[in-house]
Amino acid sequence: MASPVAHSFAGYWIFQFFAQSKFRLLRFSRGNLLPLGILVVVANLPDFDFLLSMAIRGNLNDLHHGFTHSLPVAALVSVVLTFTWPIATTFWGSALVYFTAYSSHLLIDLFTGQRLGWTNTGYGIPLFWPLSQMYSSPLILIIGVQHQNLAAVWSVQNAVSVMYELLTFGAITAIILVIRARYLHDG
């Protein structure tokens, strides 16, 4: 699995996209900080299965990369969030924003594995749960972090993975912001 760093960047990108789109995000009392925070949390939401796994099975990993990493759950969560906290001006606009944020997590996890490149080392997710087939990309773009115990969480390998995500996703973010600034300046 990718770390929260990669998923948080994705939440930020989705915020930037929808804040500038026809699906205008609602402004709250503190401006756009709250919708940004919500989308970052939603982009990380599938990994909250760690808490569910700990509560139900007493083990952090038993349910990880299970049903929470599927498109049907993404759709359900999007509709529930839209009813409880609309983030855009229309119902379907809110649902689309939430679905995109949640699904960004699934997309990143599809391209996460043990070694970079065309290595077929992906971890796999049940994209169409309740069907049992696991899906992953043969092209690995992100090295997954280890999380089987505390020693693995704080390992040098994980530090390298997180630094890779910071540099890669940070560079993509910088490019997006430069293009956006240039577009706004020229337009």
As averages over each run of 10 residues, the pLDDT of the chain (187 residues) reads 92 88 67 86 91 71 79 98 93 95 96 92 91 92 81 84 94 89 73
Find tokens 């919708």 and name the residue: 35
Q: Are 104 and 87 in contact (CB under 8 A)?
A: no
Question: Quick one: pLDDT at residue 153?
Answer: 76
For residues 131 and 170, give the distance between their C-alpha atoms in angstroms, rounded to a whole number.
35
Residue 105: per-residue pLDDT: 96
**Cβ atoms 127, 74 nearer than 8 A:** no
Please state, in angstroms and rounded to a whole number, the distance separating the CA atoms of residues 162 and 144: 9
- The Cα–Cα gap between 114 and 123 comes to 8
Q: Name the pTM for this structure.
A: 0.88
Determine contact, residues 104/11, Cβ cutoff 8 Å: yes
Q: Which of 102, 88, 73 is nearest to 26 (CA)?
A: 88
| pLDDT for the residue 116 | 92
Burial class (CB in 10 A: 0-12, 13-18, 19+), 29: exposed
Structurally, the chain folds into a number of domains equal to: 1
Q: Which domain, by its residues, includes 167?
A: 4-186
Contact call for residues 44 and 38 (beta carbons, < 8 A)? no
Distance CA 53, CA 152 (A): 18
Structural contact between residues 110 and 122, judged by C-beta atoms closer than 8 angstroms = yes
* C-alpha to C-alpha distance for 186 and 141, rounded to whole angstroms: 33
| Residue 23, helix vs strand vs coil | coil
